[in-house]
Structure formats: C-alpha cells, structure tokens
Chains A and B, each alone.
Chain A
Amino acid sequence: MKPIAFAVPVFFVLILFELWVAHSRGVSVYRLKDSLTSINVGMMSEFSKAIGGLISLVMYTLITDRFGAFTWDVSNPMTWISALLLYDFCYYWVHRTGHEINIMWASHVVHHSSEEFNLSTALRQSSTGFLFRWIFYIPLALLGYPIQVFVVVGLIDFLYQFWVHTQLVGKLGWLEYVVVTPSNHRVHHGQNDYCIDKNYGGVFSFWDRMFGTYADERDDEKPVYGIRKPIESWNPLWANLHHFVQIWQQVKLAVNWRHRLMYIFAKPSWTPEKEDATEVFKAQHFSRFDTPATSGLLKFAFIGTILGSVMLMVYFYLQPRLPQPVRIGYCVVMIWVIAGIGWRMTQARDQGPALSGAGHGHA
C-alpha cells in the first residue's frame, strides 16, 4: 500500500480532534460544505495520480541512473538531513513559482481556494501539480540521492505541512524563525495585502527569510483566507481547472504573442495595462461564498464524501494488483462521482436564497 494510505485515517482523526478542540473553545473554524469540498479535492488529487502520478518517480529514476553524480550512504543520517534540506529548498521554489507564474498558479490555486483555514484545507491538493512539480526536484536526482531517500523526504515534507493548517495554535516563539508554523502559514493563506506572495516554505521558514518573502502574522490584522478572485463553486473539478480556463480565454483574446506569453508566464496579477494589477484589499468588502442547502443535500454530500473516502482506501489497497487500464477506469469514475457531489452542492445556488442557518453554517 502507498504510505499516504496509512496517513489518510490519521488525517481524519486529527480533523475530528481539531473540531472537538474548536468546539470546546467555542470557536468556529469549519464549514461543512467547505470542508467536504476540501476532502473531495484531496481525493480527486489522489485519484488523478493514477493517471500521471508515476511521471515523477520514472523521471527521477531515469535521471539518477544516467546523470547522478554521487553515491549516498542511506545508513548515514547526514544523507537524510541533507536530502530533506535540499528537498525543502526545491519545494520553496516549486511553491514560489506556483504563486508567481500564472500557469503554475493555475495548478496551485485550488489549494488556496478555501475561505476557511483548518486541517481539512491541507487536503485541498492540486490534481495537476504532478505535471510540473517533478521538474523542480531534478537537482536531487542529479546529485544522485537514491529514489527511496527522495520518496521518504518528500513524504516527510508533505506530511509535515498537514498540521500547520490550523487556527488553533498560536505563535511558537523561536520556532517561527526555523520552521513553518501554523502562524506563519496562516499568513501564506491570507489574501490581505501583507500576506500576498509570502511564506512559501514547506518545512523550514528560513528560506523565506533568505529570499525576502517572509512575513509575520499581525495581531492587528488577522488574515482573511481565500483568493482575490473567488471561484464561487464547491466543484473540485472546477476548482482545479478554472484558472486554466481563464488563461485559455485570455490567451485567445490577446492581441499579440507577447501578451499571450505574458498571460501564461507572467505573475497572475499581470494585465496588458498594468504590470501588477493587484488591488488594495478591503476586508470589510469580503464575504464568504455560500449556497443554500437543504438538510437532504447536505446529507447527500456528506455521505457521498464518506463513501468516496472509503473508495479511495479500497483503491489504495487494490492498486498494486489492478492492471493499469482498470486502475485508470476506477479513478476516472471516482473523479466523475466526486465532481458530481460538488456540482450538485454548487447547483443549489441557482435554486433559491440561502436557507436560514445554512448561509454561514458551521459544521
């Protein structure tokens, strides 16, 4: 079984634990529709890896075998420490380009599309990231780090980032200088002016300090989570693709090749009229996306998401024994089902005003 399969139940237990802590403190950090969408996006990301997720490992192995310069002793702790540091350095740049190059932002934006910030937000991972991300880890392959070292440090980096998606942990003193913490990661997910393009680190925060992208969380201005151009949808498929569609439309309408290239490779805030068209953020004008929902619809979405999670675990269990076409077929059907749940929740928007209690209801 894939290591992530063992992590999924732990994620759910920790989400329930966060819910309980929030409840006992009398604070609301979850909304049911938002959290279901986060979980559905996470599942879609795992299912999409059946289609292209092997790219990363195949390319890594090919490059290491052909061009790897050094031999590393896997029993030496320094091998693992140096690999983790280098992996996280590469992650910093994956992440930074994910925010500062439009086509990469199209892939990463789904992770920021939640207007809440809790452990379920961590599950909101991109379904298209596997197309780009491996490129940034080529330096590890060139240095010859064995594939098992690459996979393990990648998993450590990924799993570490789960716990920093919470509002229930405050600032952590000197740790803020060394590692990514809930406080400095809240800044990363904020859409306030001081939060934009800040705190890209995965495990270590000193990369941000080195490259001038670090910002501390402000007590006088709490981050408002989400993105400046909200997707206004609970559909995980649309959350993954909407920005690609937008780029495609912009490129089609562009008047010359320079503009076409700029729409693809410049910063997401680029427009032909202005190099950086980011507007000043006004928190008082922000309202969170919501749709009306009957209790029947919420039950449907909730049970559908639980069943989807079970099907994901079944997939993890069966995956090594399934032939590739069956694997792909299974995942395509599941992606379709998950998208259907989100689509149904969003469709309710067009069927009437928000029901009382459902407008900003919290799970």
Chain B
Amino acid sequence: MAMLNSLALTDALLCLIAAWLASKNTLAVGYRMALTMLAVPALLGFLRFSGIYPLETWHPLFTLLSASAALPLLAICVLAPQSVVATRKQFAIIFLGAAMLLGLLISGLGKLRIYDQALALMSMLVILVAMMKRSENTRALGAALMLVGSVLFVLKISVPPWLMPGDWLHLGMAFGLILVTPEVLVMRDLPSAQEMT
C-alpha cells in the first residue's frame, strides 16, 4: 500500500523541478543532461519512500552516481558554458559515463562514500563562489541553498522534527536548482572549427 511521507513528497518535488528545468531547450545540452541525471534518483526516491515500487538498491546507487557525475557536470556547465562538455551531447555523455564509473567503483563498490559527498559539496561550493564573484546574487543564493541542504543532510540534522535530513537535501536542491538555472545558459549551436582552435 502506497503511503506519502515527507521524503517521498520532497523527492517528488525535486524530481518534478529537475525534469521541468531539463525540458527547457534554451539550456546547454550538458546542463540539461545533468538535470535529468538529478531527476533520476529523485524519482527512485519517490518510488521507494512512497512504497509504490521500492527499488532498495537503486535509490542510494543513483544518488551517489548523481553526486559523482551530475553535480560536477552542472558545475562545469555553469563555470565554462562554452566548453565541449556543456555544449555537445557526445562529450557530456562521455563525461557523465566516466564520472559515474568512477563513482560506482570508488563510492559504490569501494564504499568510500566521502568521494561522492566531497565531489557534490565541492561542485556546489564552486558554483557558489563563481556566482558570488560574478555578482549574480540570485544564482549565488541558489547555490547556497543547495549547499546548506547538502550539509544538513550529511550532518543528519532534522530540524524541525517532522523534516528528515533527506528532506533538507531534496528541498535545498529543488529550490537551489530553480535559482541557479538561468533562462538561457548558452547558445546550443556547435562551436565552429575556428572557435575550437
């Protein structure tokens, strides 16, 4: 019997927001792929915590894969919107594939969870610093929200008591992504050969 608890609700919210942002075709392809990758564990979390279809092993796995791959890709897309990883599907896929593989080997099979957690926190920190330097205050606030949510989750803080640590992560990410994501991130055309040289 399905039941809705706070984790299921906040995961559903994060999934919907990430998927909605990923559907914006004004954004760079790498950015959209990172958002899609963030929506996947959120969907699995919703299925798990609501009891609709609990894939117990997949939610933590895809969470660590997202932390190791999607957030670093998001950071690269924000910092270097003209990079091939941000603008070209092939390179975004290669980046995601390689980063997920490392995450799987180090955090998943090697059980070194600090790897994906540190990568995720560093990615958010990098976005925050970059946005502050550029004086893009709204986007900086978004990065700060993501960072705070993640820190509360890592520290297992549940204040108020009816919110779980995971809820902070989901809410911080969801609202953070809305603020961090610009209307237009980059032109989606392929760079010309001259630009690439």
Most buried by B among A67, A101, A138: A67
Among B90, B108, B197, contact of A66 (Cβ-Cβ < 8 Å): B108
Tell me whether A67 and B108 are in contact in the complex, defined as CB-CB below 8 angstroms, given that A272-B196, A273-B193, A273-B197 are known contacts. Answer: yes
Q: Check A67 against B57 for contact (C-beta < 8 Å).
A: yes
* B contact residues around A275 at 8 Å (CB): 190, 193, 196
- Does B184 interact with chain A (Cβ within 8 Å)? no
Q: Tell whether, in the assembled complex, residue A142 and residue B58 are in contact, meaning their CB atoms are under 8 Å apart.
A: yes
* Chain B residues whose C-beta falls within 8 Å of the C-beta of A67 in the assembled complex: 57-58, 61, 108
Query: Which residues of B are found within 8 Å of A265, using beta-carbon distances?
Result: 90-91, 94
Bound form: Cα–Cα A83–B176 in Å: 40
The total of Cβ contacts below 8 Å across the A-B interface reads 41
Known contacts A135-B97, A265-B94, A273-B197; is-contact A69 B55 (Cβ 8 Å): yes
Query: Could you say which residues of chain A place their CB within 8 Å of the CB of B197?
Result: 272-273
Question: Using a CB-CB cutoff of 8 Å, which residues 249-277 of chain A contact chain B?
Answer: 258, 261-262, 265-266, 272-275
Query: Does A62 interact with chain B (Cβ within 8 Å)?
Result: yes
Majority DSSP secondary structure for residues of A touching B: helix
> B58 touches which one: A69, A100, A266, A273 (CB < 8 A)?
A69
Give Cα A147–Cα B157 distance, bound, in whole angstroms. 41
Set A69, A272, A273: member contacting B57, Cβ < 8 A: A69
In contact, B58 and A135 (Cβ under 8 angstroms)? no
Quick one: which of A69, A262, A273, A274 contacts B84, CB cutoff 8 A? Answer: A262
Is B104 part of the contact surface with A, judged by Cβ < 8 Å? yes
Q: Does B109 contact A (CB under 8 A)?
A: yes
Cβ of A296 to closest chain B Cβ, rounded Å: 49
A68 and B94 in contact, given A62-B109, A63-B109 (Cβ under 8 angstroms): no
Q: Looking at the assembled complex, report how far the CB atom of B33 sits from the nearest CB atom of chain A, in whole angstroms.
A: 16
Number of interface residues of A (CB under 8 A): 20
Interface size class of B (residues with CB under 8 A): 10 to 19
The answer to whether A138 and B104 have CB atoms under 8 Å apart is yes
Query: Would you give the 0/1 interface string for B43-83, flagging 1 where the beta carbon is closer than 8 Å to chain A?
Result: 00000000000010110010000000000000000000000
Q: In angstroms, how far is the closest chain A Cβ from the Cβ of B193? A: 5
Q: Closest chain A residue to B194 by CB distance?
A: A273
Query: Which B residues are in CB contact (< 8 Å) with A262?
Result: 84, 196
Report B89-103 CB contacts with A as 1/0, cut-off 8 Å: 011001001000100
B104 contact set on A, CB distance < 8 A: 63, 138
CA distance A135 to B101 in the complex (A): 8
Give min CB distance, A27 to chain B, whole Å: 41
Complex-state Cα separation, A275 to B197, whole angstroms: 10
Which residues of chain B have C-beta atoms less than 8 A from A142's C-beta? 58, 61
Chain B residues with CB under 8 Å of A261's CB are 84
**Which chain A residues border B55 with CB–CB below 8 Å?**
69
* CB pair B190 A101 closer than 8 Å: no
CB distance from B35 to the nearest CB of A (A): 21
The A-contacting residues of B in range 99-145, CB under 8 angstroms, are 101, 104, 108-109
CA distance A272 to B90 in the complex (A): 17
Contacts of B193 in A (CB 8 A): 272-275
Bound together, the chains give a CA A138 to CA B58 distance in angstroms of: 13
Q: Which residues of A contact B58 (CB under 8 A)?
A: 67, 69, 142
Mark A36-69 against chain B: 1 for CB-CB distance below 8 A, else 0: 0000000000000000000000000011001111
Chain A hits for B90, CB < 8 A: 100-101, 265-266
| Segment 64-102 of A: residues with Cβ below 8 Å from B | 66-69, 100-101
Picked from B61, B84, B94, B190, the residue with its CB within 8 Å of the CB of A258 is B84
| Contact B109 A66, beta carbon cutoff 8 Å | yes
| Closest chain A residue to B44, Cβ basis | A69
CB closest residue in chain A, given B61: A67
- The complex places the Cα of A305 from the Cα of B96 at a distance, in Å, of 43
B100, closest chain A residue (CB): A138
Contacts of A258 in B (CB 8 A): 84, 196
What CA separation (Å) do A319 and B193 show in the bound complex? 52
Smallest CB gap from A136: residue in B = B97
- With a CB–CB cut-off of 8 A, which chain A residues contact B196? 258, 262, 272, 275
A319 CB to nearest B CB, Å = 27
Q: Could you give, for residues 262-296 of chain A, a 1 whenever the CB lies within 8 Å of some chain B CB and a 0 otherwise?
A: 10011000001111000000000000000000000
Can you list 30 A-B pairs with a CB-CB distance of less than 8 A? A66-B57, A66-B108, A66-B109, A67-B57, A67-B58, A67-B108, A68-B57, A69-B57, A69-B58, A100-B90, A101-B90, A101-B94, A135-B97, A138-B104, A142-B58, A142-B61, A258-B84, A258-B196, A261-B84, A262-B196, A265-B90, A265-B91, A266-B90, A272-B196, A272-B197, A273-B193, A273-B197, A274-B193, A275-B193, A275-B196
Pairs A-B, 4 closest by C-beta atoms:
A67-B57, A67-B61, A69-B55, A272-B197
Known interface pairs A101-B94, A135-B101, A258-B84; 5 further A-B residue pairs with C-beta atoms within 8 A, sorted by A's residue number? A69-B58, A142-B58, A262-B84, A265-B91, A275-B190
